[in-house]
């Protein structure tokens, strides 16, 4: 792996979690066009179910979601797979997005992104997280 966050990391298996279906589809397309394989989930329950049956290199999750929100999902994912790489994203909701993202970072997210973000920012975040040592790669 290279150390330049602007150069793409080899194809990765990513779980993308967001309750906004349109945004989920756009992000999935961006990631797949970048060469990643992507599984989507519309809430934390579905994300945890996906992780129970598949291995992922990375989880990218929204924070504000109905039913099982992102903070709780991150905590449960880290209990199940402590080395799983996680990027948390949030646009805020009733609180400032920085508050949600700071909490996500303290509870296990490896990187945080404030919505809205662009394709380059997402790609850079993925490259930074996947290039960091410590987690064994997922087998696809």
pTM of the model: 0.86
pLDDT at 134: 59
Domains of the chain listed by start with CATH number: 13-129 (3.40.50.2300)
Query: Minimal CA–CA distance to 28: which of 39, 13, 44, 12?
Result: 39
Does the pLDDT value for residue 114 go beyond 70? yes
pLDDT of the residue at 8: 53
Q: Mean pLDDT of all residues in the chain? A: 86
Angle, alpha carbons 81-123-118 (nearest 5°): 120
Per-residue pLDDT at 95: 54
pLDDT tens track for 41-99: 999 999 999 999 999 999 999 999 988 889 999 999 999 999 999 999 998 655 555 78
């Amino acid at each position: 792996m290279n150390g330049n966050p602007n150069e793409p990391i080899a194809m990765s298996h990513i779980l993308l979690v967001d309750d906004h279906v349109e945004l989920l589809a756009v992000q999935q397309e961006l990631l797949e066009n970048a060469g990643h394989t992507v599984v989507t989930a519309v809430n934390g329950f579905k994300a945890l179910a996906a992780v129970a049956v598949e291995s992922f290199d990375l989880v990218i999750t929204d924070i504000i979601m109905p039913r099982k929100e992102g903070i709780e999902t991150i905590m449960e994912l880290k209990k199940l797979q402590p080395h799983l790489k996680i990027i948390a994203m949030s646009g805020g909701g009733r609180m400032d997005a920085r508050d949600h993202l700071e909490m996500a970072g303290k509870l296990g997210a490896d990187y945080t992104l404030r919505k809205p973000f662009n394709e380059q920012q997402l790609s850079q975040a993925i490259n930074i997280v996947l290039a960091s040592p410590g987690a064994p790669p997922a087998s696809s």
